[in-house]
Structure 1
């Protein structure tokens, strides 16, 4: 860290966000970026037109209240408008939740590995970390997370489906966990990938809001709606919490193009659902193909799969890069985002060759160092 300026000591132990690597150009091969959990399909024509229309008046600020989109989303979700707040991606809303809840010395409980901004923001708030390792199946260890809550805990974060490991929380275990959380401790349920989840017993955060006033849902248009580059995230929570979060969200953070694109996307939600099912189908085929080649793949409910490769993660990443594929090497495993069918076939080809060379690891155990992806 620079000695030229008076900077906060917390920066010494706070890593910067590291984005997914781009693919290497390989002669004769089309390259694919499978390292950032992006939606690989082109936008719907109506959405593309909305983006263009929203950018025609760049000299004017966008609506700071995001009023039209807020009303439309509230109706779509079946909640009141005062329960919804938009931000520049879910990451800004996550930062706002830390700002309104956490002071130096407070505790934050979160699973690990999961989204890398959880420890980053805890560090920057001066909080103590209660980082609870996922279990051997890549799932939240909810009993251990509940046991970690103390009278200093101010924020608990859950991620369902969990990025990068893949499993979604089950309704029964979620309700049992929430019953153990003090009513004044905010629980953030990060559902960035919820639209790809097809598990019948997955926890329903939206339905749980009326039962748990301390629950805040974190969602985004980046993933299933394919608007990652426009930065449209939102929270759904108790109106009193939403009112306080407004103090921490930057004004005009959601651009006019982003608001219009999200509004039109909501009108085409059925098309989004069809696309999400197509992505989920590709994900399941990829997971099955990898398992058939001897790889350990956790239950996957997002738009990605996790290979529990342990210390062979670097080798697998190099094998992918040599074949025009960029994947996310997270230290103890590799996360592969779902892409076009031809990209998934190439992943399976690389995986098969890797396994044939003795590279498969099926007993690496639960990861403990990996990090997540932007929202």
Structure 2
């Protein structure tokens, strides 16, 4: 046997390698669980999870599904119909996905990539923001364009506008921004859209929409009704506390939803997940109570840290951002000693999810002592 078959330009013994774009992808770092410490209850504050869990109706609906040998409805019609009633939008304007990340992946794969002539599309997004953005964009074969947030952790919308080129096909807005916390206002997004070319898809990622209390916050559904290039991205993982079931959705007009529906992976939302999500939507009053409890704790934590001399950006999600820079890894280690897991972004900062009252109290005490060490 020869090392090379006739007609081949590489040896038979060559090893399998992924596409260069895949090999160069950053690794998604999921929040780690807390490590035990003597005499301390461990708390996970690293994944922006809802510590109160889902409403009882959602738990019961999930358990009631026993048709495990049958495929789910590929279009999640019941869920889409319920969402349509809740938000007063046509069910045809909704596409569901495996979490908001799955829905975003569907959207990016439809509108960004590498064209038949080799032209690479560009996707603009703020940075630091959701760490899955570069993974999704680069996996699709597109070029990501990161625009740094400002010193207060806010989108620099002027810089994002300046970054638009003839190759830009998608822009991502994250409000409130994960992990820094500030939310966009309706006026600034409206003004932004007025200056964005009509053929660019603008995604408004609202994974934490239920936690926003800032006056004048963006009304993404109003913008979707007036702008065919706007896509609203939401999830059941945060406020509804259904993170493990992976249910998300996009609301947009048919110019965006049509291609997304055509390219959607079938059966992306399981029957059990759909049942739980529908049940949760039927108990929004209970959801609001747990959300308000988390908002109260978020405000209490931020105010305590500000009083202790910390620089904490406006927080509109279920987390706070500590811009610790080079001290980020050390702070995360100190939190771990106290059985608190937090999410460190090395060299940038630490995102801390709002958890149970005891966990939040322990975080406050850590910050007070840590700030004294300088």
Find out whether 1:88 has 2:98 as its counterpart: yes
Give the Å deviation of 1:112: 0.2
Distance 1:6 1:279 in 2: 46
Once superposed, what is the RMSD of the aligned Cα atoms?
1.1
Per-residue CA shift, 1:313-336, capped at 9, x if unaligned? 111101100000000001210000
Give the Å deviation of 1:248: 2.7
Distance 2:144 2:283 in 1: 41
Give the Å deviation of 1:118: 1.1
Match of 1:39 in 2: 50
Per-residue CA shift, 1:28-77, capped at 9, x if unaligned? 110000000000003222111111012x2211111112111111110100
Give the Å deviation of 1:23: 0.4
Q: 2:292 aligns with which of 254, 277, 282?
A: 277
Q: Pairwise mapping of residues 15-34 of structure 1 onto structure 2 (< 5 A)?
A: 15-34=26-45
Residues 190 and 219 of structure 1 are in contact (CA less than 8 Å); yes or no, is this contact kept in structure 2? yes
Give the Å deviation of 1:80: 0.5
Give the Å deviation of 1:356: 1.9
Match of 1:338 in 2: 354
Give the Å deviation of 1:238: 0.5
Find out whether 1:356 has 2:372 as its counterpart: yes
Cα distance change, pair 127–65 in 1 and its aligned pair in 2 (3 A): closer
Q: Pairwise mapping of residues 216-365 of structure 1 onto structure 2 (< 5 A)?
A: 216-331=231-346, 332-358=348-374
Match of 1:361 in 2: none
Distance 1:17 1:218 in 2: 20
Match of 1:373 in 2: none
Residues 96 and 248 of structure 1 are in contact (CA less than 8 Å); yes or no, is this contact kept in structure 2? yes
Distance 1:125 1:43 in 2: 33
Select the structure of larger CA radius of gyration.
2
Distance 1:111 1:224 in 2: 23
Cα distance change, pair 100–328 in 1 and its aligned pair in 2 (3 A): same
Q: Which runs of 5+ in 1 are unaligned?
A: 359-375
Give the 4+ runs in structure 1 shifted more than 3 A: none
Per-residue CA shift, 1:131-180, capped at 9, x if unaligned? 10000110000000011111110010000000000000011111111001
Q: 1:69 aligns with which of 79, 102, 109?
A: 79
Q: Which runs of 5+ in 2 are unaligned?
A: 1-13, 115-119
Residues 161 and 191 of structure 1 are in contact (CA less than 8 Å); yes or no, is this contact kept in structure 2? yes
Match of 1:107 in 2: 122
Residues 92 and 249 of structure 1 are in contact (CA less than 8 Å); yes or no, is this contact kept in structure 2? no
Match of 1:147 in 2: 162
Give the Å deviation of 1:240: 3.2
- TM-score in terms of structure 2 length: 0.93
Distance 2:234 2:24 in 1: 28
Give the Å deviation of 1:282: 0.5
Distance 1:6 1:132 in 2: 31
Residues 234 and 248 of structure 2 are in contact (CA less than 8 Å); yes or no, is this contact kept in structure 1? yes
